[in-house]
């Protein structure tokens, strides 16, 4: 955050011993206490001023298995808020205060935090590195009629889940559609999905079946429990199925061990493999296998060529961070919430309306919030890893236009 801004940041975690009943009771009392909203301006009154101050609750992983994703998001969010408010921390005269919560990657923890924030009067939530967490928070947003802008969580189920949930990043269907751009005609081909048995992995499996299956491919899958650390049997299972293509959807600390097993069992020498290029911490995980993998990519700092990306990179680095895979998600979220606050004037339904169909320039170029289901339409990338000085560096192969990888619209 640039010097001179005056964001008030607090961090309050619910005590571990707090029971679900107590959380619900506390939230219910708080909601009842703040129920009267006679002072809320009527958004149809174009001359109405917005509230003097509005609080945004950011719930994401600061600890836990996806803590690195959470940090990338938060680095981008802080840079984006500074950018979108021109360093003032205000949107159309409304001061923005941010309350941060660590969900530790646990849906129950996230729900507790969401209930606490909503109970205290917060009407805008953002964050979520985990798809399971995002789904749980989205449910709270829908039930309590508050705006929720999800971040890195990629599960397709979040798109159109309710009228109050948006996303500031890509979704699995866009990954899968990008993978399809490597393949040409896949009619009659067999594709095996290797993924973790999580909301993220299941989302990718469903997307491959829906998107590439619709083009004539036969799709099967090998799903691996999240706590598994020995991957040889699963690599052997993939190979035994004799697929024409393997689509790998993986996240987290076990990536290196999984790829080592795939390499040692000869999968990469026998079958074309397509996967998403993760954050920079994973670049070395592929080892010699990197040259045998076709990478689809959501973002790396060298992919886009525009001034906003340059600005984000500069600000994040100046603050001591490292721009990475999910930094744009936080930056986009800040732009979106500033738009919502500026146009919505404190009214949730008006904030929702302000985001539907909203097009804006972000670190990845032009992005558009699709009005019907709140999908975020955006460019994607084909990338290769190249050896450089004993490590691997991503290199852009092709930018795939947003309309070529747009997910099917939910009705």
Chain centroid to Cα 119, Å, comes to 25
Residue (of 405, 410, 409) closest to 172 by Cα position: 405
HSE, side-chain direction, 13 A CA sphere, residue 387 = 8
- Residues 202, 277, single domain; the answer is yes
Tokens coding 308: 């906003």
Shared domain for 66 and 156, answered yes or no, is yes
CATH number for 162: 3.40.50.2300
Determine the structural domain holding residue 393 and report its residue range: 173-297+380-404
Range with the lowest mean pLDDT among 24-33, 96-105, 116-125, 278-287? 24-33
Residue 211: both structure tokens together: 């998107």
In a domain, 31, yes or no: yes
pLDDT of amino acid 85: 98
Extract the tokens encoding 174: 């866009």
Report the 10 Å Cβ neighbour count for 179.
Answer: 28
User: Given this model, what pLDDT does residue 402 score?
Assistant: 97
Same domain, 373 and 274: no
Residue 122 lies in a domain: yes
180 plus 206 within the same structural domain: yes
pLDDT, tens digit, for every residue of 226-240? Answer: 999 999 999 999 999
Higher-pLDDT residue of 9, 347: 347
Kindly report the number of other CB atoms within 10 A of residue 17's CB atom: 6
Q: What does the pLDDT read at residue 44? A: 43
Whether residues 43 and 137 fall in one domain: yes
- 348 with 396, same domain: the answer is no
Q: Is the pLDDT higher at 292 or at 261?
A: 261
Of 277-286, 315-324, 374-383, 396-405, the one with minimum mean pLDDT is 277-286
Extract the runs of DSSP E, i.e. beta strands, from 61-161: 90-91, 94-102, 124-127, 147-150
Structure token pair of residue 329:
């998600």
Position 253 scores a pLDDT of 82
**pLDDT in the model for residue 78:** 98
Q: Whole-angstrom Cα distance, residue 54 to residue 42?
A: 16
Residue with tokens 């097009």: 359
378-389 mean pLDDT: 92
Give the β-pairing of 94-102 and 90-91. Answer: antiparallel
- Per the domain annotation, does 1 fall within a domain? no
Structure token pair of residue 226: 């999240």
Q: What pLDDT is stored for residue 47 in this prediction?
A: 55
Instruction: For residue 90, name the pLDDT band (cuts at 50, 70, 90).
Output: very high
Count of the separate structural domains present in the chain? 2
411 falls within a domain: no
- Bridge-based pairing state of the strands 293-297 and 53-60: unpaired
Write out pLDDT tens, residues 63-81.
999 999 999 999 999 999 9
Q: What is the pLDDT of residues 349-375, one digit of tens each?
A: 999 999 999 999 999 999 999 999 999
**Torsion (CA) 119, 334, 10, 13 in degrees, nearest 10:** 60
Residues 186 and 131 occupy one common structural domain: no
Average pLDDT, the chain: 88
Do residue 127 and residue 193 come from a single domain?
no
pLDDT of residue 256 exceeding 90: no
Least confident of 37-46, 95-104, 150-159, 201-210: 37-46
Q: Do residues 124 and 177 share a domain?
A: no
**Integer Cα distance of 203 and 55 in angstroms:** 32
In a domain, 359, yes or no: yes
Helix 232-240 crosses helix 255-264 at what angle (to 10 degrees)? 50
Would 4 be classed as within a structural domain?
Answer: no
pTM above 0.85, yes or no: no
Half-sphere exposure of 177 (CA within 13 A, CB side): 21
DSSP E strand stretches across 79-229: 90-91, 94-102, 124-127, 147-150, 165-167, 190-196, 218-224
Residue 394's pLDDT is: 94
Cα atoms in the 13 Å half-sphere on the side-chain side of 100: 18
- Asked whether residue 19 falls in the same domain as residue 159, the answer is yes
The phi, psi pair for 119, rounded to 5°, reads: -60, -30
Residue of higher predicted confidence among 311 and 182: 311
Q: 98-121: per-residue pLDDT in tens?
A: 999 999 999 999 999 999 999 999
In a domain, 409, yes or no: no
The per-type count for the chain, helices as H runs and strands as E runs, is: 12, 17
Same domain (yes/no): 147, 88: yes
**What's the pLDDT tens digit per position in 290-325?**
888 989 999 999 999 999 999 999 999 999 999 999
Mean predicted confidence (pLDDT) in 148-156: 95
DSSP for 373-411? T--EE--EEEEEEEEETTEEEEEEEEEEPGGGSPPPPP-
Closest to 153 in 3D by CA, of 42, 54, 60 = 60
What whole-number distance in Å separates Cα of residue 136 and Cα of residue 69? Answer: 18
Cross-strand pairs, 394: 385
According to DSSP, the β-strands at 293-297 and 273-276 are parallel
DSSP state of 322: -
pLDDT of residue 109: 98
Q: Contact 153/128 with Cβ under 8 angstroms? A: yes
Of the two residues 394 and 285, the one the predictor is more confident about is 394
Binned at pLDDT 50, 70 and 90, residue 5 comes out as: very low
Distance separating alpha carbons of residues 4 and 74, to the nearest angstrom: 19
pLDDT exceeds 60 at position 255 = yes
Q: Given this model, what pLDDT does residue 311 score?
A: 97
Within this chain, do residues 183 and 290 fall inside the same structural domain, yes or no? yes
């Amino acid at each position: 955050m640039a010097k001179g801004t005056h964001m008030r940041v607090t961090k309050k975690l619910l005590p571990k011993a707090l029971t679900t009943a107590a959380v619900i009771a506390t939230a219910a009392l708080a909601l009842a206490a703040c129920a009267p909203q006679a002072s809320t301006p009527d958004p149809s009154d174009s001359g109405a001023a917005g509230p003097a101050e509005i609080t945004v609750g950011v719930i994401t992983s600061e600890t836990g298995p996806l803590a690195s994703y959470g940090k990338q998001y938060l680095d981008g969010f802080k840079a984006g808020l500074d950018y979108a408010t021109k360093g003032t921390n205000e949107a159309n005269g409304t001061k923005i205060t941010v309350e941060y919560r660590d969900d530790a990657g646990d849906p129950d923890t996230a729900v507790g935090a969401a209930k606490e924030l909503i109970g205290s009067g917060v009407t805008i939530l953002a964050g979520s590195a985990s798809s399971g967490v995002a789904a749980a928070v989205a449910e709270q947003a829908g039930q309590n009629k508050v705006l929720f802008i999800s971040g890195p969580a990629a599960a397709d189920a979040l798109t159109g889940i309710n009228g109050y949930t948006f996303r500031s990043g890509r979704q699995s269907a866009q990954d899968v559609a990008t993978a399809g751009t490597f393949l040409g005609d896949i009619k009659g081909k067999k594709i095996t999905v290797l993924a973790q048995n999580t909301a993220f992995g299941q989302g990718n499996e469903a997307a491959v079946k829906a998107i590439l299956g619709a083009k004539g491919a036969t799709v099967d899958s090998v799903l691996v429990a999240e706590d598994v650390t020995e991957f040889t049997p699963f690599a052997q299972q993939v190979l035994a199925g004799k697929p024409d293509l393997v689509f790998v959807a993986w996240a987290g600390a076990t990536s290196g061990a999984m790829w080592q097993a795939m390499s040692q069992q000869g999968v990469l020498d026998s079958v074309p493999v397509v996967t998403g290029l993760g954050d920079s911490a994973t670049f070395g995980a592929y080892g010699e296998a990197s040259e045998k993998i076709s990478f689809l990519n959501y973002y790396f700092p060298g992919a886009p060529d525009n001034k906003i990306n340059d600005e984000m990179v500069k600000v994040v680095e100046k603050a001591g961070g490292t721009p990475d895979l999910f930094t744009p998600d936080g930056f986009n979220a800040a732009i979106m919430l500033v738009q919502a606050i500026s146009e919505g004037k404190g009214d949730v339904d008006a904030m929702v309306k302000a985001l539907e169909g909203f097009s804006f320039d972000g670190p990845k170029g032009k992005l558009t919030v699709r009005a019907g289901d709140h999908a975020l339409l955006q460019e994607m990338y084909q990338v290769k890893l190249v050896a450089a000085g004993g490590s691997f560096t991503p290199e852009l192969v092709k930018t795939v236009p947003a309309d070529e990888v747009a997910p099917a619209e939910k009705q």
